[in-house]
Structure 1
Amino acid sequence: MDALLERLRAGLPAEALITDPDVTASYAHDMASFCDAGTPAAVVLPHSVEEVQHVMRTATALRVPVVPQGARTGLSGAANASDGCIVLSLVKMDRILEISPVDRIAVVEPGVVNATLSRAVGELGLYYPPDPSSWEMCTIGGNIGTASGGLCCVKYGVTAEYVLGLEVVLADGRLLNTGRRTAKGVAGYDLTRLFVGSEGSLGIVVKAVLALRPRPPQQLALAAEFPSAAAACDAVCRIMERGHTPSLLELMDRTTVRAVNAMASMGLPESTEALLLCAFDTPDPAADLAAVGELCKASGATEVVPADDVAESELLLQARRSALPALETVKSATMIDDVCVPRSRLGAMIEGTAAIAEKFGLTIGVCAHAGDGNTHPVVCFDHTDPDESRRARASFDEIMALGLELGGTITGEHGVGVLKKEWLARELGEVGLELQRGIKSAFDPLGLLNPGKLF
């Protein structure tokens, strides 16, 4: 320990190195339940690429594991510390280095908060689409590490589609540049995409070149009430089948709607079994909403209410963003699943989740990026009750099994981390797992980067 701290201090300003155990303990884990976390030897908050390189050279020389972190808003334990590790928190590297309206790119450090970037580019008439529900807190580096999605994915896609290039510090301290600043580029293997979603297991992202879009018109939304989740999912299928491209298509079940009302007094209709939110940012959103409203009625919607203006639309959007925090107030703890299925199987996924909730005697609220088939079943439980905790974990596993059975994936945007390691192996299969481990070994032969995550 003394040798480690001495070497770290030699290349870091005093304020960048934290060793107080009461403080380092606060960096030990992210927001996931049921994920083990170790005790870090030290926390480093670098301000520069050179300081990150110094940390990695020190770690390699002394064979000390390093756990990269963003804002620790993750939900899979991917940022959890391991015993004796260096926690490398990138939150102080938070500069927007460049915004180019001509090239439609932004160059940022990893600690830039998603909402901060979105507002900065918005002032120049540009748009950075990926918008996780935690966008006011989560960082771009964390978004890249977990390949985050968000509410607008149905039209604009996920983080991976906006990362053009990266600057990455490798395990041995070398600096790697991947990708490009250009609109096109196919030179060599796509190492940029390889790092997106790698959860800090291949290298430390210290700079990112991000694609931007022109800012779209402000969106208008509608809310449609349904007597069942199956009816709401039928509406989703009709909307997509008819070729509509909403900027948002989200679903909340009855449990979620009631939780949002209880927490934020939103005035959402508690009589509904499923509430579908749809928005368009097209030149004539009212016409698009009218067409979608008819499709919702054809699927059995009991009420379709278009927002009168942008302010009312934003209120609906805020209700959806409040869904996960609201469900966290139902019991003392939650497990938030992240199973994505083909859109055509969305109804089966939600009905199957309801059956799992009944089987285990638990409250499980479901909110979903319905346009993507990406469901977030939230298992609410009392963490002080051992039996209820056991049932919560068992239900979580059955939900993931259901997702795979329906042709889906165990994670659409939250990542694997510690929480889903066993399930990743089941999804990838033996050959896929072997090749992924080989890639990990090529980039990190000593296994120092975020050990114990993914596989």
Structure 2
Amino acid sequence: MADLIAQLRAGLPAEAVLTDPDVTGSYANDMASFCAAGTPAAVVLPRTVEQVQHVMRTATELRVPVVPQGARTGLSGAANASDGCILLSLVKMDRILEINPVDRIAVVEPGVVNATLSRAVLEQGLYYPPDPSSWEQCTIGGNIGTASGGLCCVKYGVTAEYVLGLEVVLADGRLLSTGRRTAKGVAGYDLTRLFVGSEGSLGVVVKAILALRPAPPRQLVLAAEFPSAAAACEAICAIMGGSQADAAPPDEGGGPGSPPGTGPVRVGHAPALLELMDRTCVRAVNRMTKMGLPESTEALLLCAFDTPDPTADLAAVGALCTAAGATEVVPAEDEAESELLLQARRSALPALEAIKSTTMIDDVCVPRSRLAEMIEGTAAIAEKYDLTIGVVAHAGDGNTHPTVCFDATDPDESRRARESFDEIMALGLALGGTITGEHGVGLLKKEWLARELGPVGLELQRGIKQVFDPLGILNPGKVL
């Protein structure tokens, strides 16, 4: 331990190496439940690439594990300490190095907060779409580590689609550059995508080149109440998949060679946001915020458009919701009303956390066509285990977040919570889904990752880990 601290301090400012147990303990875990955290040897807060390289060279020489960290808002235990490790916190590397409107890129350090970047590029008429619910706290490095998503992914995609290039410090301290600044590029294997979602297990991201888009018009939101999750999911399928209501009128031909009286069927809409809250979430939000949301509804669907004519798009979607059985459809009249509805959605997880002392937030993504089965199956699991489980979902993606609320001091309730969590993941796989759409694997889902990948997939992924980290010092015990 003394050798480790001495060597770290030899290449770092004194204030960058923290060893007080009370301080280092406060860095030891992220926001996941049921994930053990060890006792770190030190917390290191570098400000430069060279300082990160020094940390990794020291760790390699002394065979000390290193756990990279961002803001620790993760929900899978990926940032949790292991015994005797260096916690490598990158939050001090927080500079926006470049915003280039012509190339439509931003170059940032890993500690830049998502919302800070989003606001900075918006000032130049640009848009960085990935927007996790924790965007006011989470960092770009953490977003890259978990390949995070957000509310607007249904139209704009997830973090991986915006990472053009990276600078990564490898386990032995070498600096690797991947990717490009150009709009296109296919030279060699796509190492950039390999690092996105690797949860710090292959290298330490120290710089990112991110793609930007032109800023869209401000969005308007519609809220629709449904008497059942099945009805809400029927509306979601109609919105995303199109319906006969979207077909051209009978007196309009579909073009040369088309039979008389037929027209092209519109293949769905492109909402900027399509979110679902079940009754448990709606009531929890009301208790916490006093917003007065309709507690009689079984499912509340929020749909937003940022198109040139969002009012017309919302009207079309409102008709689809009504056809699917919506009992009430309320389009927002302006941006203020839209923001109020979005605030209700953003409040869902904090509101569920207020129900019990502990929550386990699942992250199961299924095909949109199976979303109703996922939500109804989760409700049956909640009843089976006599637990409160609220579901919020990025409905346009099929990405559900069942949140198990329980008392961690009650052994029986904790057992039931863990068993229900596992059954929810099993349900997701049975429906053709995945155990994580955006939160990552970390410690929480290692066993389930093996089930999803299968033995051949697991063997190949472990081989990749061996190439990048032959000593196994980067975030050991996580992911694989």
Q: Give the TM-score range, shorter chain.
A: over 0.9
What's 1:91 paired with? 91
Aligned ranges 1:6-25 → 2 under 5 Å: 6-25=6-25
Could you report, residue by residue, the CA deviation over 1:74-122 in whole angstroms, capped at 9, with x for unpaired residues? 0000000000000000000000000000000000000000000000000
Cα displacement (A) at 1:28: 0.4
What's 1:45 paired with? 45
What's 2:462 paired with? 437
Please tell me the residue identity of whatever aligns with 1:288.
Answer: D
What's 1:277 paired with? 302
Cα displacement (A) at 1:266: 1.8
Structure 1 gap segments, 5+ residues each: none
Matches of 1:241 and 1:441, distance apart in 2? 42
Q: Secondary structure at the match of 1:112?
A: coil
Is 2:170 the partner of 1:170? yes
Matches of 1:435 and 1:266, distance apart in 2? 50
Matches of 1:303 and 1:319, distance apart in 2? 17
What's 2:472 paired with? 447
4+ aligned runs moved over 6 Å, structure 1: none
Aligned ranges 1:264-343 → 2 under 5 Å: 264-343=289-368
What's 2:247 paired with? none
Cα displacement (A) at 1:319: 1.0
Q: Secondary structure at the match of 2:26?
A: helix
Matches of 1:14 and 1:346, distance apart in 2? 52
Matches of 1:241 and 1:156, distance apart in 2? 17
TM-score, reference length from structure 2: 0.95
Matches of 1:10 and 1:318, distance apart in 2? 48
Matches of 2:341 and 2:155, distance apart in 1? 18
Between 308-317 and 64-73, report the one with greater CA deviation: 308-317
Could you report, residue by residue, the CA deviation over 1:329-365 in whole angstroms, capped at 9, with x for unpaired residues? 0111000000000000000000000000000000000
What's 1:110 paired with? 110
Cα displacement (A) at 1:268: 1.2
- From 371, 375, 395, the equivalent of 2:400 is 375
Is 2:233 the partner of 1:208? no
What's 2:273 paired with? 248
Cα displacement (A) at 1:407: 0.1
Cα displacement (A) at 1:317: 1.0
Q: Secondary structure at the match of 2:475?
A: coil
Q: Secondary structure at the match of 2:43?
A: strand
Please tell me the residue identity of whatever aligns with 1:208.
Answer: A
Please tell me the residue identity of whatever aligns with 2:448.
Answer: W
What's 2:371 paired with? 346
Cα displacement (A) at 1:271: 1.0
Cα displacement (A) at 1:410: 0.1
Matches of 1:3 and 1:420, distance apart in 2? 35
What's 2:33 paired with? 33
Which one has a bigger Cα radius of gyration?
A: 2
Please tell me the residue identity of whatever aligns with 1:280.
Answer: F
TM-score, reference length from structure 1: 1.00
Please tell me the residue identity of whatever aligns with 2:168.
Answer: V
Q: Secondary structure at the match of 1:411?
A: coil
Matches of 2:339 and 2:213, distance apart in 1? 21
Cα displacement (A) at 1:236: 0.2
Cα displacement (A) at 1:265: 1.6
Cα displacement (A) at 1:128: 0.1
Aligned ranges 1:181-196 → 2 under 5 Å: 181-196=181-196
Cα displacement (A) at 1:303: 0.1
Matches of 1:157 and 1:203, distance apart in 2? 24
Matches of 2:372 and 2:71, distance apart in 1? 34
Between 264-273 and 213-222, report the one with greater CA deviation: 264-273
- From 393, 417, 421, the equivalent of 2:418 is 393
Please tell me the residue identity of whatever aligns with 2:353.
Answer: E
Please tell me the residue identity of whatever aligns with 2:205.
Answer: V
Cα displacement (A) at 1:261: 1.1
Please tell me the residue identity of whatever aligns with 2:422.
Answer: D
Please tell me the residue identity of whatever aligns with 2:354.
Answer: T
Please tell me the residue identity of whatever aligns with 1:186.
Answer: V
Please tell me the residue identity of whatever aligns with 2:418.
Answer: R
What's 1:355 paired with? 380
What's 2:58 paired with? 58
Q: Secondary structure at the match of 1:35?
A: coil
Cα displacement (A) at 1:263: 1.0
Please tell me the residue identity of whatever aligns with 2:389.
Answer: I
Could you report, residue by residue, the CA deviation over 1:136-164 in whole angstroms, capped at 9, with x for unpaired residues? 00000000000000000000000000000
Matches of 2:181 and 2:283, distance apart in 1? 46
Cα displacement (A) at 1:322: 1.0
What's 2:438 paired with? 413
Please tell me the residue identity of whatever aligns with 1:440.
Answer: K
Aligned ranges 1:73-152 → 2 under 5 Å: 73-152=73-152
Please tell me the residue identity of whatever aligns with 1:228.
Answer: S
Matches of 1:352 and 1:245, distance apart in 2? 28
